[in-house]
Structure 1
């Protein structure tokens, strides 16, 4: 609402100076670097600012070269992803749990392509809309880390394997959980286990596939067929149709996300196949719906909210001048339910 509609105006630095009985220059020095102002005067100015509800505007802080208290998240996916994706809602909740406590904010931009993505990163940082970035969905041969280095932008890469970026990374280590899943399936008599992979260009999708392949070989079975499901319910359903059409059909399917597994449920039901009697099924993420499917879905729990909070904390520490660890790892957890026998 505008000042004309409410009859009130936002307090200014002049109002703070008048309340504290000092000059505007003294207020500016006290609130920016504290030099040239006695501790008693600085406390009087701080108290006056609190009483008036005054805070420096983002524009003024940007002009003075001060940190804005904002971090950027540029997502090359459609905004509708928030309606169904298991990762982003929990991830954003984790970020907000950290930023809200420190009066920081997140600037989120959804972009359609690589060109717009690069331009958005440059605009947000060069025009001082954000202080640094959380980078998600790291891709094969991803150019963003090198671009952010050129910009001089602080960043933390989230969800990517250790060593995939020269920026600090934070990721869920699902290797042990996927190994446990494969062992469970093999112990149940399964010798042909298929995998439905998410986006083949994303490193986290490849990482889940690599863990599945290694676990299968370590368990003494050949990795079964691979299909791609694009991390969507529809993609999972279509991948399942292709698997069922194979001459030698597997007896178990490990989906790279719970949403793809739920899409597979519908196809398996339409084909008259029971879960887990005719086909054992497992997913990845442990979304809220996973334990309420029929039968409840076996899955690997990925700590999306913890990734968001840990990534935000790491980036804030970097912005304060602290040295960040090269990599931070959170462990995944296997949730055995009825769908895997």
Structure 2
């Protein structure tokens, strides 16, 4: 028994990991020179059709695949797209938006045998440094840029590097000599009309009699955050709302709860809260319950994003519903189109649809 165990251990030690096949291996098997293999597999002239076919058959049988670094050095594509997220790492695991967005991106990439290189960065400067390194090393063919800012150095940087990019959530073009958006840099973008979506939510609450509306917003300086804040302010002016304000956060449940706690502790608290994601909306419901406010009797709550959390919480959350996976697919497909010589475009996705549920009701003074 001991001898059998020792033999098995010896066999395991002697067993070497499989060796990655090289062009020299293919040349030896096919009976040709290494240069002929290089010409054939890099789709260059210099070998006959019959020799090329024989080399390709041997390469397939041996399981040979081109090395990404070698392809980059030879000017070929790496077969990889990049995406960097400069947000707190803790915000990614709880918010459904990015998980659905990345699922949609994969739907577009998988049939094209493209990979996604995803990395977190500690701030915008670190993100820009990553782009410079990826470009210098030939690591990626192009990048998907998320969370566009009102003062954003990334579009101009990517344009100067010549690194193809699509800005996800890019704003509508603005005028002026100091523009730093995707359109000014000549990049493609895929975006949603956050201003129109905010108007939809505010009008729903206004029709229910709410005149004191607070917005628990995302990160200040993000273009979609600023568009929502501006749209709330303009709609408040148009309809004569007594009180409408926005409070910025980092999208986490902790800051969402803190913002809700401060707002509900005001001498005259809001009767409706609009939360920029479902995580903060759930946190707001919890804070309302803790502080003796009934949802929706005392305060109505709306989530900007819809997810299973919104549908399983009690009360169920009124939400803006959109196909985030399709949003991601559109963005990735646009980048793939650019890489194959397609035009740079601005693609607007359909307006999110408001889905009323149990968390919104007539304002207390209008019942």
Matched, 1:76 2:120: no
CA contact (8 A) 1:217 1:223 kept: no
* DSSP-derived class of the 2:250 partner: coil
Q: CA deviation at 1:220?
A: 5.0
Match of residue 178 from structure 1: 198
1:259-312 deviation per Cα after TM superposition (whole angstroms, max 9, x unaligned)? 111111111101111111111110111122111111000111243322222211
**Structure 2 CA distance for partners of 1:278 and 1:137, relative to 1, 3 Å:** same
Match of residue 9 from structure 1: 19
Q: CA deviation at 1:176?
A: 4.1
Match of residue 334 from structure 1: 354
Which runs of 5 or more residues in structure 2 are unaligned? 1-12, 174-180, 362-367
Q: Which residue among 36, 42, 67 is the counterpart of 2:46? A: 36
Relative to the length of structure 1, the TM-score reads 0.91
Matched, 1:316 2:326: no
* DSSP-derived class of the 2:247 partner: strand
Match of residue 64 from structure 2: 54
Matched, 1:113 2:123: yes
Match of residue 218 from structure 2: 198
**Correspondence list, 1:72-221, <5 A:** 72-163=82-173, 164-165=181-182, 166=185, 167-221=187-241
CA contact (8 A) 1:227 1:242 kept: no
Matched, 1:253 2:254: no
Relative to the length of structure 2, the TM-score reads 0.85
* DSSP-derived class of the 1:72 partner: strand
Matched, 1:272 2:292: yes
* DSSP-derived class of the 2:216 partner: strand
Bigger shift: 217-226 or 81-90?
217-226
* DSSP-derived class of the 1:331 partner: coil
**Structure 2 CA distance for partners of 1:246 and 1:79, relative to 1, 3 Å:** closer
1: CA distance, partners of 2:264 / 2:54: 74
Q: CA deviation at 1:222?
A: 5.1
1: CA distance, partners of 2:206 / 2:238: 11
* DSSP-derived class of the 2:304 partner: strand
1: CA distance, partners of 2:15 / 2:91: 38
2: CA distance, partners of 1:185 / 1:114: 36
2: CA distance, partners of 1:4 / 1:264: 61
* DSSP-derived class of the 2:244 partner: coil
2: CA distance, partners of 1:119 / 1:4: 44
Q: CA deviation at 1:218?
A: 4.5
Matched, 1:307 2:337: no
Point out the structure with max Rg over C-alpha. 2
Match of residue 296 from structure 1: 316
